Structures are given as structure tokens and as C-alpha cells.
Structure 1
Amino acid sequence: MTEQTDDSLTPPRAALVGIVGGTFSGLFGLGGGIVMVPLLTSLGGLTQRRASAYSLAAILPAAIVGSIPYLTHQAVDLIAAGLLVVGSVIGAVVGARLLARVPESLLRWLFVGVLVAGIVRSLLDAFGEPPSVDTAEGLPSVLDGAGMIGLGLVMGVASGLLGIGGGQLAVPGLSALFDFAPALAKGTSLVAMIPTAISGTWVNARNRLVHLRMAALIGLVASAFSFGGASLSVMLSDDVASIAFAALLVFALVQQVRKAIEKQRH
């Protein structure tokens, strides 16, 4: 398997990816890998494989910083987060090992599926009814606990393989399956992503798919600029923000499909 080097990802380009990705993530309250991976392939010039690895590593500082407000406002179900981690840490290792082996073309089309799911979810957020559970409710039932571990496993595999965070799977999963309100689902997912990103990035670093210092630069810059994006978000209603985010993902989807088709022709 021939991999391109990371020569195209210079520190200025890495910082630019962090600025754009962090601003959009803060502005729309979503993002993570679903925004970062397309930026890393377009602005950063990385292959899909390396973009996934860099995105997962860059999520780590963003998850640490982003989880602080949720923890201080008690918008994290620590028991649910722990159950997610039981599955997600294992899943991230599996996903990262797959990342080193899965063909590049398949990775591109899998990410197309992620973008389509993100568009659908954003439109459902805009026009659907919000869930009701907005605070931690104590110990879950055995069935719910098993479900959360299973959700964490799926979340971990997707994170390790595609470089996406918990926002694309854990948040809608917690909302749909366990009736978590958006803030509680996001906070719980962010806390669970910290050990998830560590385990997947450990495998990617051993496979030499990521330069940790460059990924840290992206993540730290993104974390800083997410605050600016969040301050701009007050000018948008939740429905408008969801529709605008869906439009952004449609643009990314068109670019991803075009690139996938071009690569298949060569």
C-alpha cells in the first residue's frame, strides 16, 4: 500500500484547517470530523486515510476543551459516558486497525455516507421535536446499559475508521434510543470521545498515519476558534443553524463525490 507523505500539510495549512474547522464547529454546534476530514483533504492535501487519522487526533483537544462547559453545567451523564467508553475504546482500536488496511476508495465512499447521514440529521433537527431528558437520571437498566455499550462500540469503530467524533453517532443515538436532550447528549458524547480518541490515535501513531504535533496544532487552533464561532451562533436560531449546516454538508458532499469519481477514473 503506497501512502503519500504529509509534506503538503505545512504548519500554516494545518493552522488554516484548524481555523476554518473550529469556526464552523463552534458556529453550528456540530462538526468535528465531519467538517475536519474534508478540510484536511482539500486544504491540507492529505489522502483520505491520513485525513481520518489526523482528524481523530485533532478531536482530542477539542473534546477536552468542549466538555468543560457541559461538566460545569452538569450536562453530562457520567454513567452513560462510562458505558459508551467501554465499547468505544475497543471500537476505536478496531476502526484504526481497519483504517490502515481498507482501500482508499472505500474510505471515500464510506465518508460520503457519513455526509449524507449528517445532512439528514441536520434537517431532522430543524424540523423535528427535541427529546426530553436533559439531566442525568441515575443508573440505567441492564438493557439500556448494554445498548449504550453497543452504541459506544459502533461510535468507536466509526471514529477510528473515518476520523469522526461522537456527534455523528453517539448524539443522535442517545437522543433517539434513550431520549437524551441535545445538550445532555452532546456533553456525554464529548466526555466519552476523550478516551476514544486516545485509543484510536495510539494505533494510528504506531501505524505512522499521523504526526502528533501537527495534529495537536490543528486541534488546539480549532478549539480556540470554536469559541469565536460559538459567539456568532447566537445570531442564528437553532432551525436556521441546522439548515445552514446541512447546506455546508451538501457542498462537502458534492466535493467528496467528485473527488471519489475522479480517483476511480485514474
Structure 2
Amino acid sequence: MLASTLRRSSARAVGHAPRTALPGRRVLCSAPKDRSVSAAMPLGVGVATGGVAGVVSALTGVGGGIILIPALAKFTALSQQAINGTSLGAVALAASVGAWNYLESGACNVPLALTTTIPAIIATKYGVRTAHRLTSKKLSLVVGSAMLLCSPLIFLKNSPYMPKWSDSQDPLDLQFFVPQLKDLEKARKSVGEGEEHASVADTAAAVSAEYMERVKTDWAGFAMVNTKYVFAGAAAGFISGLCGLGGGILITSYLTAASDMPQATIIGTSLLSVVPTAASSTVFNLRAKSIHLPTAARIGGSLAAGVYVTSKYVTQDVPEDILRGVLGTTLGAAALVMMRRAI
């Protein structure tokens, strides 16, 4: 009888316990942080952040994570893993929109993008796993320092102080699948006065046909020359999963410094390579419950709108030097952000 009385008393105590003592629910994010800041980004801030990130993404070829990650850290209470995952979820949507616009206009090196994408997808899961097991501070410092050192190379391209690396590269290099700046300039100069010069599409078709003829005669040399893009893609994928960046900033910087492709083609190629990489990271983050879907949807919509408008109506008409200036500035700012996270 005493036991039954005690059971009834404990049941009444539990029934009258305040609801605030119970743990709150979490929506697809990792360990909760301070509740004084909401897990979801405010609507106005999310739209503004996504729009700015979309414009920068379309002008540089980066996914937009370099803007989204600091904003998510400032305006939400999400953990760093959830911030990375939410950023990549939004980037995957927006990069697909921008890549389609560049692909439709012919400003994209599809074989090169695929060569970097496949190893990036494989390496992404290791970056995500590492992000959940280890602190990324040291790696953020290393990557940020490397990006900061690369920034001057972007500004100095085509200047008398910068060697023309593409002139000494193997003709089997995948960058030569599309017209280089010198090819487009040569096509314009070869047209007589009063004649209509060949379109970019015609020039691209001729250059691609010549390239494929060279590849058919030396498949082994083709594979050996382009192995560097496999390693570049793997590095981009690992960094993507670890730091929440789409990986495009590494691909864009490398192609800008080491190739003579038009900047619009570099941007389109980078965005195309970002799509499957960011999508793969998003899948792994969903399984790990490291993505806040309401916030990802909120900033993803405005991010996609910014990318679409800029890539469709702006980038193709912007001079090469201005595009490189925007990229160099963005790269330097991203490097400082990553290095600050490591301090």
C-alpha cells in the first residue's frame, strides 16, 4: 500500500512539472547553443544576405559560402557544423541556376568541370566526417593563408609582371578544349573590314574539334597531363565538406591564375563543378542532421535569384579585368575570414 501511494505521488509530481524543464526540440541541427539567438535567420537578413552572395557568386564562380558562413554565425545560434551544412544546402541550389545560364551561353568547359567534380564528390564525405570529429581551426588557417597568397596572382594576371603560363603548357591540357583569350582575339583580327566575324560558338566548335584530334593520337599523354585536375577536385571537395565552402573558390582561383581561358568560361566551369560537390555534401549533412532546412530554404531562394539575374544579364558584358578584380578581392576577404576563424 505504501508503494502504491508513493507511485501515485511521483506521477502527480511529474504531471505538474513545468514544461520549461523539458528539453526543447531541434530542427535538423547539431548540439544547441545559446537560446537568446534564434536558430533561424531573420527573413530580411536572409533575403539580403542571399542576394548579395548570389551576385558575388555569379561574378566570381564561388558558391557564395564565403558570405553565408559569417552571416549565419552572426545572426543564428547554429553550431559550426550546422552552419557549414546550411550554407552548402543553399549553395547547391544557387550554383545549379548559375551553371545552367553559363552552360546555355556556351561559357563552360564541361570536360574540365567533370574531371574536377568526380574526385570532389568522393572527397567530400571525408571532409564532412572530419568536420564532425576534429576542430577545423588549424586547417582553416592553412587554407586561408594559401588563399591570401594566391590573391595577388589574380590581380597580376595579364600584367607584364606575370608570366603567361598557358603558353608553355601541354596542348593536351583540358583548358584548351575551349577557346582561349588569344583564340578569340585571333578570330576577331583575322576578319577583313566589313566582314562579319565568326561567332563565339563557331570558334568554340573549331577549337574543340582540333583538341579532340590531338587527344585521339595520345590518350596516355592526355591522362597524364590532366591528372592535376583530379587532385585539384579532390582538394576542393575535402575543403567543401570540412569548411562549408562550395569548393568553387579553389577551382576558380587555380584556373584564373594558371590558364588563359576567358573569365566568364572559368566562372561557368567552376559553378558547374560546384553543383554536384555541394549536393553531395548536402546529402551527407542531412544524414548527419547538420543542416537547418528553414534557414537553407530562406537564403537559398534569394541566392538563386541573385545568381540567375547576374549570370544572365550582367557577367557576359563585364570586362575581364573587372571580373578578376572582383575575384581577387573576394578571395582575399575569404582568406581573412577563414584565418580569423582559426584564431
Same fold per superposition (TM over 0.5):
yes
Query: Which of 266, 277, 298 is equivalent to 1:217?
Result: 298
The answer to whether residue 200 in structure 2 is matched with residue 169 in structure 1 is no
CA contact (8 A) 1:49 1:107 kept: no
Please name the residue that 2:57 is paired with: 25
CA contact (8 A) 2:118 2:233 kept: yes
Offset, 1:224: 0.8
Structure 1 segment 183-262 matched on structure 2, within 5 A:
183-227=264-308, 237-240=319-322, 242-243=324-325, 246-247=328-329, 260-261=342-343
Offset, 1:222: 1.0
Unaligned runs of 5+ in 1: 262-266
Aligned AA (1:4): K
Q: CA RMSD in A?
A: 3.6
Bigger drift between 7-16 and 65-74 goes to: 7-16
The whole-number CA distance in structure 2 between the counterparts of 1:253 and 1:145 is: 27
CA spacing shift, 1:256–1:158, aligned 2, 3 Å = closer
- Calculate percent identity across the aligned residue pairs: 27
The whole-number CA distance in structure 2 between the counterparts of 1:163 and 1:173 is: 19
Please name the residue that 1:56 is paired with: 88
CA contact (8 A) 1:171 1:182 kept: no
The whole-number CA distance in structure 2 between the counterparts of 1:234 and 1:77 is: 16
Offset, 1:80: 2.4
The whole-number CA distance in structure 2 between the counterparts of 1:55 and 1:216 is: 10
The whole-number CA distance in structure 2 between the counterparts of 1:111 and 1:8 is: 28
Q: Which of 1 and 2 has greater Rg? A: 2
Please name the residue that 2:41 is paired with: 10
The whole-number CA distance in structure 1 between the counterparts of 2:336 and 2:83 is: 18
TM-score w.r.t. the length of structure 1 is 0.77
Please name the residue that 1:84 is paired with: 116
Offset, 1:33: 2.1
Q: Tell me, what secondary structure is at the counterpart of 1:10?
A: coil
TM-score w.r.t. the length of structure 2 is 0.62
CA contact (8 A) 1:81 1:191 kept: yes
CA spacing shift, 1:253–1:189, aligned 2, 3 Å = closer
Unaligned runs of 5+ in 2: 1-29, 167-174, 180-203
Name the count of aligned residue pairs.
Answer: 261
